[in-house]
Structure 1
Amino acid sequence: MEKVLELLADGGFHSGEELGSVSGISRAAIWKKLKMLEELGLQIDSVKGRGYRLHPGVELLDSERILKALEPAVREAVIVHTCLKTTSTNDLVREIPVASPLIKGVCLAEYQTSGRGRRGRSWDNPFGSTISMSTRWFYSAGMASLEGLSLAVGLGVLKALERCGGSHLKLKWPNDVLWRSPDGFQKLSGILLEVHGDPTGDCEVIIGIGVNIALSQEQINGINQPAVDMQRVCGNAVSRNQVVGELINELCRTLDIFSQQGFGHFKEQWEHYDAFAGQDVVLDASGKTVSGVASGVNSHGGLLLKTDEGMVTFNGGEVSLKAATLGKSRCGKSK
């Protein structure tokens, strides 16, 4: 199926005979492969006398192109693995063998059957239309010192997307990247961290990053919150492989700095991009809602909320705008 997909990726017509010759299977088997691609959500056009085409074409993830986009020092510090389909890149990345704890494994998939988001939600990623990437990072200072890492990673993702042409990007605590459109905030990217190990010693951090690249209007409408993709943000087509390269470059830079200086190094930069700074918000913390004014974050990445009882710090929870301000800007729940 991968050979068939690679040939169809250019968006042009290819005969069944050509597809069979390239893949080494019969035309009947080709038809079955095309049906499998349609089951993944791809649109296959069939025109008598011309053959088959993938509409509107797709840029497949290519590990060689990604490696070429990496800075030399980063290229030596990562192992990049791409695949067509997996349950979750957060699970698959743990299977990538690395020779040293200093090496970061990076896994990408065109399609996930069980992609995970924050707070037990699923993460939707239509085939070839998004980036689903996970990185495995070994950290020796213990889980207790990882406070604020999700915010630092979110900032790194935002910077990478800016270098790929994104503008008017903001951050939603603790780790969503939003785009400020004329109609309000729309989600562009989400991040999920999974930590395993010793609270005071060696631990393993799995960093999952999802970015919308080129979604159809139907796919946008199917998302249960206001959403956007890089193509709409930039106003033109965006290379998925270029975006992945920039994400890996910035992520490695972020992790290196964080391991030495913690979140304190990123605090001021994060607050510069804070989507809800100074606004009335509602925090959902384990089923309890707290209202207040978003007042930035502390040196550990905790949300500062100015309430009637004074300034309160929260280290976990979900932020949404009060109903009274929804007409000015809006944002759905994080994934």
Structure 2
Amino acid sequence: MSLTSLNQLLHLLADGQFHSGTALGQHLSMTRAAVWKQLKGVEALGVKLNRIRGRGYRIVGGLDLLDVEAIQRQLPELTPPFNVQLHMSIPSTNQTLMQRQQQQSIHGEVVLAEVQTAGRGRLGRQWQSPFGQNVALSLGWNFSGGAAALEGLSLVVGLALAKALSDLGVQEVKLKWPNDILVDGKKLAGILLEMRGDATGPCHVVIGMGLNVHLTQNDAIDQPWISLCQLGYNLTRNDIVAQILLRLHQHLALFVQHGFSVMRHQWQQLHYYQDKNVQLLLPGRQVEGVCRGVNQVGALMMEFDGVLKAYSGGEISVRPLGGAYE
């Protein structure tokens, strides 16, 4: 779905005030019938319209719409520069970039979506992102040195996201290995990395993240979650995206030059399960021990009877001892 008359209509309704069909038609230079058709398109995106005869249409509470120009204005000149693209509705921002990588370089390419219809999280979960409520962002980045050079990358991305939120005044943000952002033990954001390339040469990575911003209710989410709105933060998504991109640029440059090890201490300072008793869910079994953070390449360190053991891999989850959160 393109940023055309539907986008213009959404921007008119974003103020939360009533707009008559006649006034909307005048603004958009279209007939009442065409306006009605566009309003149906708004509802198809999952946006609830309030209709009152004689007053018109409104979106209760308004919308905090993404704006590429507003985001770009907040960014300094960067190398490489970010090429930000916004979609009204797509299945997945990650999927969009992964497909694009087959035809062109995606280094510095950013894809944003107001709504994802098939957003994905870790371990095959669906990531819920209703229209205009969250940040759904994917960034393409090229690396050399093969898959081994990417050890700890998901932790670096998590740290960058946590720092960006801290820059915006969000407090008590914690990190959960390998790719979650928590506040009060509840999931605020998640990260999903997808890679394509040579095991020992150039790699193309899509860095995807979802951040709960204005979300207040969603019965489809099957784990404890929280949003910035629920925490009392009134931040615009454009400001959030700009700060995330700035921090990502800084942290990825540092990672390329020095690897994860130089950021390990910072990551562990924000580690939610640092020195806590936890359960480690492994394929077909689970173990209990004390979580001692991560090693120099980002593997999770567990202590069993005074012995440390490192764990890494995409099929491992950590949860509190006796708890249900994964």
TM-score scaled by structure 2?
Answer: 0.92
Whether contact under 8 Å (2:188, 2:212) holds in the other structure is yes
Partner of 1:88 in structure 2? 92
Tell me the SS of whatever aligns to 2:229.
Answer: helix
Q: Partners in 1 of 2:83 and 2:284 — Cα distance?
A: 40
Tell me the SS of whatever aligns to 1:73.
Answer: coil
Q: Which structure 2 residues correspond to residues 88-127 of structure 1 after superposition, within 5 A?
A: 88-94=92-98, 103-127=107-131
Question: Could you report, residue by residue, the CA deviation over 1:272-296 in whole angstroms, capped at 9, with x for unpaired residues?
Answer: 0010111111111223211111011
Q: Partners in 2 of 1:301 and 1:124 — Cα distance?
A: 27
Partner of 1:232 in structure 2? 230
Among residues 26, 29, 37, which one is paired with 2:31 in the alignment?
A: 26
TM-superposed deviation, 1:309: 7.7
Count of residue correspondences: 319
2:54 maps to 1:57: no
Whether contact under 8 Å (2:49, 2:59) holds in the other structure is yes
Tell me the SS of whatever aligns to 1:127.
Answer: coil
Partner of 1:77 in structure 2? 81
Q: 1:101 to 1:84 in 2, by over 3 A?
A: closer
Q: Which structure 2 residues correspond to residues 36-47 of structure 1 after superposition, within 5 A?
A: 36-47=41-52
Q: Which amino acid aligns with 1:264?
A: S
TM-superposed deviation, 1:103: 4.4
Partner of 1:157 in structure 2? 161
Q: Which structure 2 residues correspond to residues 138-157 of structure 1 after superposition, within 5 A?
A: 138-157=142-161
TM-superposed deviation, 1:95: 6.0
TM-superposed deviation, 1:22: 2.7
Q: Which structure 2 residues correspond to residues 1-335 of structure 1 after superposition, within 5 A?
A: 1-73=6-78, 77-94=81-98, 103-180=107-184, 185-216=185-216, 218-219=217-218, 221-233=219-231, 235-308=232-305, 310-316=307-313, 317-323=316-322, 326=323, 332-333=325-326
TM-superposed deviation, 1:39: 3.2
Q: Partners in 1 of 2:245 and 2:107 — Cα distance?
A: 13
Tell me the SS of whatever aligns to 1:266.
Answer: helix
TM-superposed deviation, 1:171: 0.4
Q: Which amino acid aligns with 2:75?
A: L
Q: 1:171 to 1:290 in 2, by over 3 A?
A: same
Query: Identity percentage over the alignment?
Result: 40
Whether contact under 8 Å (1:77, 1:103) holds in the other structure is no
Whether contact under 8 Å (1:188, 1:212) holds in the other structure is yes
Show structure 2 runs of 5+ residues with no match.
1-5
Q: Partners in 2 of 1:169 and 1:252 — Cα distance?
A: 20
Tell me the SS of whatever aligns to 2:200.
Answer: coil
Show structure 1 runs of 5+ residues with no match.
none
Q: Partners in 2 of 1:237 and 1:90 — Cα distance?
A: 27
Q: Which amino acid aligns with 1:261?
A: H
Partner of 2:3 in structure 1? none
RMSD: 2.1
Tell me the SS of whatever aligns to 2:243.
Answer: helix
Q: Which moved more, 1:62-71 or 1:16-25?
A: 16-25
Q: Partners in 1 of 2:294 and 2:28 — Cα distance?
A: 54
TM-superposed deviation, 1:2: 1.6
Tell me the SS of whatever aligns to 1:187.
Answer: strand
Q: Which amino acid aligns with 1:59?
A: D
